Amino acid sequence: MTAPGAAVLPSPGRHLSDPGTRAVLRVQNALLLSARRFLAEAGFVELLPPISGPVTDPGARGSKQVDIDYYGHRYKLMSSVILYKQAALRTFPKIFCVAPNIRLEPPETADTGRHLAEFHQLDVEVAGARRDEAVQLVEELVVHMVRETVADLTEQFALIDRDVRALTHLTQGAFHRMTHTEAVARLRENGHEQSLDAELDWAAEALLSAKADRPFFVTDYPKGSRGFYDRESRTEPGRLRSFDLIAPEGYGELCSGSERTHSYPEIIARMRETGENPKKYGWYLDLVREGIPRSSGFGIGIERLTRYVAGLDAVWQASAFPKLPGVVSP
Ligand code: AMP
Ligand code: MG
């Protein structure tokens, strides 16, 4: 499939009746069905996610949150349901949801091929799990989703001209893991200046992604690059028990996750460090005081994963009703 010009969307009618769109949405549907089967068999309960609330994920920097008037109170539309996932572990120890997110990303990101203003996450959280158990779970889940989708949708992949050999390869070996510190060293060897204290920039991600032949994990991001809910390492202060899954072939980040900060004093300390006012988080902190379980979890960007699996030029092609940053569309 070829994308039209930068930041230009086809008319909704043309997009929705395009055989390419149909094939891509079939791929997305197969990925979701397969994820639901895998997670149900592993004992997860699917919950319907909240759409609005007094607070949302403060970790999504660079994008604007959306306020709504909720009976005279200023509420947010969810930019991610992370805090609600932690709360929901009081119902079941293993939960997931397919959650809509809205983030008003800067208009200049409309052309990156990776940004939507509205997207969905497959959001998973496991009580009692350590970071590395979450990493293992993402790997098994993604391999399962891709394996079943590739096996079931030969015609659709042919129609959109996606060579599935790269994906078959993905299902045949472990995903490589490197720490953020190792990633920085590798980048510097390749002449790319990357700070040890910051999130990997896009050029860095693209460089690592281009050298990989299957998705890979980067772990232990530095403090300051993530929200307060990513737990700081006890043994390596300044490093978070976090991870990203990055796709090969230049598609970039697919998923972020971490072990979570769960004790009241740690959460307050991390909120202060990340510039968040604890007063805004009343309901959440009340729950934390009563006790929320230790947990790990992650969110896979569904349109991003679909883009990679289907081999699309741009992420908007993986949405029936795409919303590009700064572009007015239905
Ligand atoms: P984050 O919490 O920012 O790490 O987002 C979780 C996942 O959602 C990322 O790993 C991406 O796969 C996906 N994602 C984040 N922002 C966007 C966006 N603007 N458009 C599409 N997908 C996104
Ligand atoms: Mg991320």
Q: Which CATH class, in words, describes the domain spanning 12-318? A: alpha beta
Q: Cα separation of 116 and 320, whole Å?
A: 12
CA of 226 to the centre of ligand 2 (A): 8
Counting from 1 in the atom list of ligand 1, the atom nearest the Cα of 117 is: 19
Inter-axis angle of helices 131-152 and 19-41, nearest 10: 130
User: Of 304, 307, 287, whose CA–CA distance to 295 is shortest?
Assistant: 287
Q: Is 254 close to ligand 1, i.e. is its CB under 6 Å away?
A: yes
Secondary structure letter of residue 129 according to DSSP:
-
Q: CB–CB of 243/257 below 8 Å?
A: yes
Q: What pLDDT shows up at residue 4? A: 41
CA of 301 to the centre of ligand 1 (A): 5
Task: Give the CB-side neighbour count of residue 68, counting CA atoms within 13 A.
Answer: 12
Q: Is the pLDDT of residue 5 over 60?
A: no
Q: What pLDDT shows up at residue 11? A: 95
Q: Which ligand is nearest to the CA of 304?
A: 1
pLDDT tens string 6-56:
568 999 999 999 999 999 999 999 999 999 999 999 999 999 999 999 999
Q: Cα separation of 251 and 237, whole Å?
A: 31
Q: Which pLDDT band holds residue 319 (cuts at 50, 70, 90)?
A: very high
The structural domains of the chain, with segments of one domain joined by +, span: 12-318
Q: Is 319 close to ligand 1, i.e. is its CB under 6 Å away?
A: no
Q: CB–CB of 63/280 below 8 Å?
A: no
pLDDT tens string 178-224:
999 999 999 999 999 999 999 999 999 999 998 898 999 999 999 98
Q: What pLDDT shows up at residue 8? A: 80
Counting from 1 in the atom list of ligand 1, the atom nearest the Cα of 301 is: 12
pLDDT tens string 50-76:
999 999 998 777 899 999 999 999 999
